[in-house]
Amino acid sequence: MTIGVSPEVWLCLSGGNALGAYHAGAYSALHAAGIRPKRVAGTSVGAVVGALIAGNRPEDRLARLAQFWKLAASDVAIANFAHFWDGSKIASSLATLLHGRPGLFQPPLGLWWRRLSGLPSPSLFERSAMRKTLARLVDFDYLNGGDVRLVVNATDVSTGEEHVYDTSEMEVTIDHLMASSAFPVLFPSEPLDGRHMVDGGLIANLPILPLFRDPPAYPIRCLAFDLVLANGAVPKTLDDAVHRMQDLLLSNQSQRSIELLKHRSSGWPVPISVLHVSYKGELEVGGKMLEFSAASMKVRTDTGKSDAEIAIRWLSETDLPRSHADHMEEYEFGLTR
């Protein structure tokens, strides 16, 4: 163990499309507390949020995150006026399926006529607008030369292999962020280095193994923010079942990744502490990952901020409140203290 060295703070950000506003809220609380992560791993929307953090100077990060999520949010959704009615949020997610989100993704011209005519189309949406948004909000020179190491992953659609892109080893570009967030059916695969890549969350939605690809040189306190929750009620409706199915599939991935990290880090000479924080999403619906109403965005951002404020207490090595035990869990790996 390195004596007298303060732990580095690392972030791990899961995928979840519209739910990613939670990550922005969580980072805002860390930023306000003066916490500057040295390494960030993200997949899908977590990769985008990670790039907005690592790809901007500290004084610009909150503004860039706010600009991205303001662009993503829909101000005209009925859910903004009837937020506690699930039907309004279901309608919001269905509207996204029909119209996309300006500045992020939209149906290709003539998509529905092509489909009705039996002509092929590889996805529901195209994302040229997303490329322009990332080019405007992320400083890629700073991303690849700044003081925050960014790690993102993507999946080879032909082989199922995971590929990891790390700014300490290569230049990470818009193409890598687009690949990491190319969820099949919604978005087309992205050509990259002679391969066709899709969303990294299909393999590792909580990319904690890519984050810890190599043994760290210093003690680490890692905050892993996950946009799904393992625990939940028995579904009573079809919408409940869709909601629960997503959470089960992705949260089981997260648990397996954490277990694998436990084995990988056995014998590492420094202590590694991980706080796995899951977004409870108590007011969400089955189509939550496509539900972009401004009201839901605010709830997610506020919840992320609130959860991160609890996580900051953990960083200071105080006990977590028992009231948060249902969605926060601490792990100790490597050289235990």
**Model pTM?**
0.94
pLDDT tens by residue, the chain, 337 residues: 344 568 999 999 999 999 999 999 999 999 999 999 999 999 999 999 999 999 999 999 999 999 999 999 999 887 888 888 889 999 999 999 989 999 999 988 766 666 666 667 778 899 999 999 999 999 999 999 999 999 999 999 999 999 999 999 999 999 999 999 999 999 999 999 999 999 999 999 999 999 999 999 999 999 999 999 999 999 999 999 999 999 999 999 999 999 999 999 998 999 999 999 999 998 999 999 999 999 999 999 999 999 999 999 999 877 666 566 689 999 999 876 5
**pLDDT tens digit string along 201-260?**
999 999 999 999 999 999 999 999 999 999 999 999 999 999 999 999 999 999 999 999
* pLDDT given for residue 2 in this prediction: 45
In eight-state DSSP terms, residue 101 is B
Secondary structure (3-state) at 99: helix
| Alpha carbon 2 to chain centroid, angstroms | 31
Q: How far is CA 82 from CA 51, 91, 184, 296, in A?
A: 33, 11, 31, 11
Burial of 11 (0-12, 13-18, 19+ CB in 10 A): buried
Token couple for 193: 């280095």
Surface-to-core class of residue 324, CB atoms within 10 Å of its CB (0-12 exposed, 13-18 middle, 19+ buried)? middle
